[in-house]
């Protein structure tokens, strides 16, 4: 009993100097509880309002979207008017012409290929994602150039399987010129994922759609001379070894060659790979060395030349388009 009295006495002693611990009435507890509930309700309503505004102001997602498209650039396609443009662009205008899908059509090589095919009477439809590896304004200018020739470029990603299937549904392509790829050697050191996404996954996405198409199109695609890698034998030959890539870009192109072989072996797809060297000409890529050399020459700057092993001469192959 004395212990209980002692505890009761302690309840009325200061807990800290100058402060007293006071018993809280039930009314105070109820008031505090109701206040907490009110604050919680207000914050919940604000949170719901923010979420509502976010989704309300966001553009609606495409009905044919799926998780695999989370890396794709947004683009609008589909509808009667869109299909009409696709068919018109791909319509064959010569007796023995082809209907060709050109991927990477707004690129340097893709623009020239699309223009040449169109002028000889083939039906040509372009596909490009207009990425910002270099100034997209140049790609838009090429797009305008092709539009004047009657070539429509669909804006979309090579990994967008739904889009690819739709294109083959609208047009029975006889050929595919696959030039869409992530270019550049140094760029791969900082952006490796973009090379796997475009050069490997994108190639597989295209082949998956092509193998199911009726008729199965013949495919010509851009490999690269970089697959020769650390091979020191010159001049290069198609029979030379290509198992020593010197960059991630080269490795993805080598992987593409093995993938092409596999799809030909299993599904009978007709595939022809072209190992391009340095391509130059009108409407060329601004990131290429010859542009830098030209600017330095015009500005009177010195161009450094690197020697090969044992003070050997350095040579580079160029292809004029």
Average pLDDT rounded to a whole number, residues 193-207:
97
The mean pLDDT value for 309-320 works out to 67
Q: Name which of 16-25, 200-209, 246-255 the model is least confident about.
A: 16-25
**pLDDT computed for residue 43 by the predictor:** 57
| 302 and 263 both lie in a single domain | no
User: Is the domain of 181 the same as that of 307?
Assistant: no
CATH number, domain with residue 139: 3.40.50.720
End-to-end Cα distance, the chain: 106
In terms of residues, how long is the chain? 321
Indicate whether 85 belongs to any domain.
yes
Residues 224 and 310 occupy one common structural domain? no
> Which residues belong to the active site?
249
CA distances from 217 to 71, 171, 271 (A): 27, 11, 9
Both 219 and 296 in one domain: the answer is no
One domain for residues 239 and 310: no
Per-residue confidence (pLDDT) for residue 234, from 0 to 100: 79
Residue range 9-18: mean pLDDT, rounded? 41
Is 54 part of a structural domain of the chain?
Answer: no
Q: Are residues 202 and 297 in the same domain?
A: no
Q: Which of 219, 172, 107, 274 is nearest to 126 (CA)?
A: 107
Residue 93 located in a structural domain: yes
Query: What is the distance between the alpha carbons of residues 68 and 51, in angstroms, rounded to a whole number?
Result: 25
Three-state secondary-structure class, residue 302? coil
Q: What pLDDT score was predicted for residue 62?
A: 40
CB 163 within 8 A of CB 156: yes
Range of the domain at 173: 69-280
- The residue ranking higher by pLDDT, 172 or 73, is 172
- pLDDT, tens digit, 9 for 90 and up, residues 92-140: 999 999 999 999 999 999 999 999 999 999 999 999 999 998 899 999 9
Question: Could you tell me if residue 55 is inside a domain?
Answer: no
Q: Is residue 1 a part of any domain in this protein?
A: no
Higher pLDDT, 273 or 321: 273
* CA dist 19 → 16, 29, 144 (Å): 5, 20, 80
pLDDT tens string 41-97: 555 555 555 445 444 444 443 434 443 344 444 457 889 999 999 999 999 999 999
Residue 252 near residue 235, CB atoms below 8 Å: no
Average pLDDT of the residues of the chain: 82
144 and 97 co-located in one domain: yes
Location of structure tokens 């309300």:
56
Q: Do 140 and 146 touch, CB atoms closer than 8 A?
A: no
Residues 254 and 154 in one domain: yes
In a shared domain, residues 300 and 220: no
In a domain, 167, yes or no: yes
Please indicate, yes or no, if residue 300 is contained in any of the structural domains: yes
pTM recorded for the entire structure: 0.73
| Residue 203 resides in a domain | yes
Assess whether 173 and 222 both reside in one domain: yes
Angle between helix axes 136-147 and 108-119 (nearest 10 degrees) is 0
Residue 109: count other Cβ atoms within 10 Å of its Cβ.
23
| Same domain for 296 and 231 | no
The number of domains in the chain is 2
Residues 185 and 153 both lie in one domain: yes
| pLDDT exceeds cutoff 60 at 2 | no
């Amino acid at each position: 009993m004395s212990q209980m009295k002692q505890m009761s006495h302690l309840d009325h002693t200061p807990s800290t100097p100058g402060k007293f611990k006071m018993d809280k009435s039930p009314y105070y507890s109820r008031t505090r509880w109701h206040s907490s509930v009110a604050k919680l309700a207000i914050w919940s309503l604000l949170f719901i309002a923010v979420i509502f505004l976010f989704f309300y102001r966001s553009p609606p997602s495409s009905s044919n979207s799926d998780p695999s498209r989370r890396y794709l650039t947004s683009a609008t396609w589909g509808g009667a008017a869109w299909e009409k443009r696709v068919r018109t662009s791909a319509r064959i205008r010569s007796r023995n012409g082809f209907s060709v899908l050109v991927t990477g059509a707004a690129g340097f090589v893709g623009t020239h290929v699309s223009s040449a095919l169109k002028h000889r009477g083939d039906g040509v439809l372009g596909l490009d994602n207009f990425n910002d590896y270099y100034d997209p304004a140049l790609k838009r200018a090429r797009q305008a150039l092709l539009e004047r020739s009657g070539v429509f470029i669909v804006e979309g990603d090579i990994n967008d399987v739904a889009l690819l299937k739709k294109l083959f549904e609208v047009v029975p392509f006889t050929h595919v010129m696959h030039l869409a790829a992530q270019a550049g050697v140094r760029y791969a050191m900082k952006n490796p994922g973009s090379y796997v996404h475009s050069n490997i996954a994108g190639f597989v996405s295209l082949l998956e759609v092509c193998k199911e198409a009726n008729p199965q199109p013949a495919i010509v695609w851009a490999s690269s001379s970089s697959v020769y890698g650390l091979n020191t034998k010159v001049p290069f030959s198609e029979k030379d070894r290509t198992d020593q890539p010197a960059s991630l870009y080269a490795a993805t192109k080598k992987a593409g060659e093995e993938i092409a072989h596999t799809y030909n072996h299993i599904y009978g797809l007709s595939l022809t790979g072209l190992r391009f060297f340095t391509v130059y000409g009108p409407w060329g890529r601004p990131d290429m060395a010859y542009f830098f050399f030209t600017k330095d020459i015009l500005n009177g700057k010195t161009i450094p030349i690197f020697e090969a092993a044992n003070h050997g001469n350095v040579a580079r192959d160029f292809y004029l388009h």
